[in-house]
Structure 1
Amino acid sequence: MRERILDTADRLFYGRGIRAVGVDTVAAEIGISKRTLYNYFPSKDALIAAYLERRCNRLPITDAPPAEQILGAFDRLARVFADQGFRGCPFVNAVAEIGEPDHEANRIAIEFKEQRRLWFRDLLRRLKVRDAEGLAAQLQMLVDGAIATMLVRGDPAIADTAKDTARVLLTAAGIGLPKQRPMARSVRR
């Protein structure tokens, strides 16, 4: 039942917004009482925190070349952007919607963003980049900027532009990259 509640909360919170969806809507969607929902999550805030924690998937560092993994992050963005249900970063959305600095959602969002930055940093350290901390922060900002731009422009090709920018940053840091294959790009006006 806990997983059913979280599946439903995830779909509704991400699709409609955290503020727009009450626990009564989540319970009704599943076909349970609010009391049953509260047996699993004692408050809406607890449900929000569980929803966000569940989305905190750690990216593994694999045996693939580090630069390939870094650029692969932008390929993942392209796949996410292509989804018709894309509504931005659920962590940023939660922080913006809730608007309470002391809310648990803020802690979870910061933790998520930091784990992504550290993922970039650890890969950059494997590449022996001089300022791995600084470049990791730039790459994380590039991801966040691409997400925001995609929301505003609605053009999935933004992920390709972000990947091109990441290539420039990596090259400037002295990382040799394989030749880039030309990609078809859409241009939205």
Structure 2
Amino acid sequence: MQERILETADRLFYGQGIRAVGVDTIAAEIGISKRTLYNHFASKDDLIVAYLSRRLKPAPPSERPPVEQILGSFERLERTIGTGGGTGVFRGCPFVNAVAELKEPTHAANKIALAFKEQRRKWFRALLVQLGVADPETLSMQLLLLIDGAIAAAIVRGDPKVATAARQAAAVLLQAAGVKVPKKLRSA
């Protein structure tokens, strides 16, 4: 039951917004009472934390070369934008959305959102270290900003190709840092 609640909350929170969806809606969607929902999650805040924690997954290990993994993350983003992340409509980053909607700096959602962003930055950093980049800290943050910028642009423009432009910018940054980027990875 807990997994059904989380799946439903994930779909509704991402699709309609955390503030717009009440526990009544989630319970009704599943066909359970609010009491049953509260037996699994003591409050809506607990459900929000569980929803975001469920999405906080480390990138799976890969044997692909680091430069392919880095630029591949932009290609995955383009696919996610194009398919709406499996929901049909792309609504951006669920972590950023939660922070923006809740507007509570001390809410546990903020810590989870920061953990997600740091996890992604550290993933970039580890790959950049493998590539021998002189300043992996700065470049990992720049790559993260390209991802976040592509997400924001996709929401405004409704065009998954913004991720292609971000990937091309990432390739330029990598080359400027001395990384050999194969020609096939540089172009669209």
Q: Does residue 111 in structure 1 map to residue 115 in structure 2?
A: yes
Q: Does residue 148 in structure 1 map to residue 152 in structure 2?
A: yes
Unaligned runs of 5+ in 2: none
Deviation (angstroms), 1:62: 1.7
Contact 1:121 1:136 in 2 (8 A): yes
AA of the residue aligned to 1:135: L
The alignment's TM-score, normalised by the length of structure 2, stands at 0.95
AA of the residue aligned to 2:137: E
Deviation (angstroms), 1:80: 0.5
Q: Does residue 165 in structure 1 map to residue 172 in structure 2?
A: no
The alignment's TM-score, normalised by the length of structure 1, stands at 0.95
Q: Output the CA distance in 2 between the equivalents of 1:156 and 1:76.
A: 10
Q: Does residue 126 in structure 1 map to residue 130 in structure 2?
A: yes
Unaligned runs of 5+ in 1: 184-189
Indicate the residue corresponding to 2:62 in structure 1: 62
Counterpart mapping for 1:1-150 below 5 A:
1-83=1-83, 84-150=88-154
Q: Output the CA distance in 1 between the equivalents of 2:82 and 2:95.
A: 19
Q: Output the CA distance in 2 between the equivalents of 1:33 and 1:85.
A: 29
Deviation (angstroms), 1:57: 1.5
Q: Output the CA distance in 2 between the equivalents of 1:93 and 1:129.
A: 32
Deviation (angstroms), 1:61: 3.5
Paired residue total: 183
Deviation (angstroms), 1:180: 2.6
Identity of matched residues, %: 64
After superposition, the C-alpha distances for 1:13-48 in whole angstroms (9 at most, x for unaligned) are 000000000001000000000000000000000000
